[in-house]
Amino acid sequence: MLIRKRFLNTKVKILTGVITAGLIIGGSLLTLPTGQAKGVVSDDYPLNDSTHWNTEPVWRDEFNGTSLDKESWNVRSGGWGANHVQSCYRDREENVNVKNGSLNLVGLYKPGERCSGNEKSGNFTSGFVETKGKKAWTYGYIEARIKMPNNKSTWPGFWMSPNGSTYGSWPRSGEIDIVETKGSNLNYAAADAHWGLSTGNKKHAQGRDLPAGFKDTTQWHTYGVKWTEGKLEYYIDGVKFHTVNGFGQPNAANTPYGPFDKPFFLRLNLAIGGDYIDGQGSKWSNAYNALAKYPKSFPATMSIDYVRVYERRTAKEVNVPDNNLRTQLNKKLSTVLSTNRKDDQKITDVELEKLTDLNLDAADNASETDKIHDLTGLEAAKNLKTLSLKNNSVFDLRAVSNIKSLKSINLTINR
């Protein structure tokens, strides 16, 4: 048998060659390199749920360059007129930079710095980036890997705002807070959503019941939200810790899933000072107290390793031109999926991903017309671990050469 395609892996190469009928490769099995196992966190975590979610991002920024991608991001400049935030946001390299594979938002003590905003603004600068007007999505799974600063008076956030005011100004068109932390408590993280009719007639749904073992926001953690119709599900390190089901009254939207049924854009910012840090008038809500007690905590840096956006998937039909392979696959799927399937039934990629151990052996006395010749279509069975093709007539393994989970293939007596 001639194997026309090489199996290539970072660890192993299996070279092409001629194999005579009846020879068993690798003893009795052709053993392939085992891919690195992904840690299992939760079945409904989108990156662990390939049945319902595409596990390749529809958009991503890995921050591997030396400057911010201005095709995707804007840098906000000016003050923030709410919650008594003290920092002035600046479009400067010292406040917003991309270095060493991360986006860095940096808070600095800058005596004499002034900006528009509330009465406390000034003497501190920081960074704020957003995809407003450039990148926005309706529904999906949005995740970032972030290391928060170690400074008592910081309020970092990863959040989303509506790309247009379809239902009116805040909070009528909504806000999705994927994570907010505060430097006064490095074991604190919260998710939230805001909606309502006015600043005095609004609702929010905060979640702070964190996954077991979560601690120290100054270490790298992933923070994400799975946003679907009528539901927001929040994750830390792949573990769901908060859910908002439905968006009850008061609500300015006259739609079942509003206001969270329109495009939202991404925001990342590092606020210095502000009421969110333990309440108005609290010690660490005033950044001068942090500066006095911990002067070396400035600069304060929020680092973002990546931001990724994933979409839900739609099952796609797989081309399986070999009728014998199609028949065998439908028989196997009948068992795995507990359904009655026809031999010539259409097969989807989602269905093939359910297969892990696949025996496609032909009978010892099988005629050539009853054997499998073409493996095209099996490339979609990306969770296969073992594959047996004894007594068939397979000459080309390209269809399975890139299945990372595949550990062994039995190719006994392929003519």
Q: What is the set of active-site residues?
A: 175, 180
Q: How far lies 70's CA from each of 26, 84, 122, 267, 380, in Å?
A: 52, 29, 27, 14, 36
Nearest Cα residue to 124 out of 83, 90, 96: 90
**Cis status, amide bond into 299, omega within 30 of 0:** yes
Q: Which two tokens stand for residue 45?
A: 């975590």
Helices (H) and strands (E) in the chain, counts: 3, 23
User: Which residues are CB-neighbours of 35 under 8 A, at least 6 positions away?
Assistant: 404, 405
* 345-364 burial code (b ≥16 CB/10 A, e <16): eebebbbbbebeebebbbee
- In this structure, the chain runs to a length of 415
* 189-227 burial code (b ≥16 CB/10 A, e <16): bbbbbbbbbeeeebeebebeebbeebeebbeebbbbbbb
**Cis status, amide bond into 259, omega within 30 of 0:** yes
Q: Report CA dihedral (262, 265, 269, 273) to the nearest 10 degrees.
A: -20
Tell me the sheet residues that pair with 239: 236
Q: Which two tokens stand for residue 374?
A: 């073409």
Nearest Cα residue to 274 out of 191, 154, 169, 180: 154
Q: Please tell me the distance from the alpha carbon of residue 33 to that of residue 242, in angstroms, as a whole number.
A: 38
User: DSSP 3-state assignment of 364?
Assistant: coil
Nearest Cα residue to 399 out of 17, 1, 3, 117: 3
CB atoms within 10 A of CB 315: 13
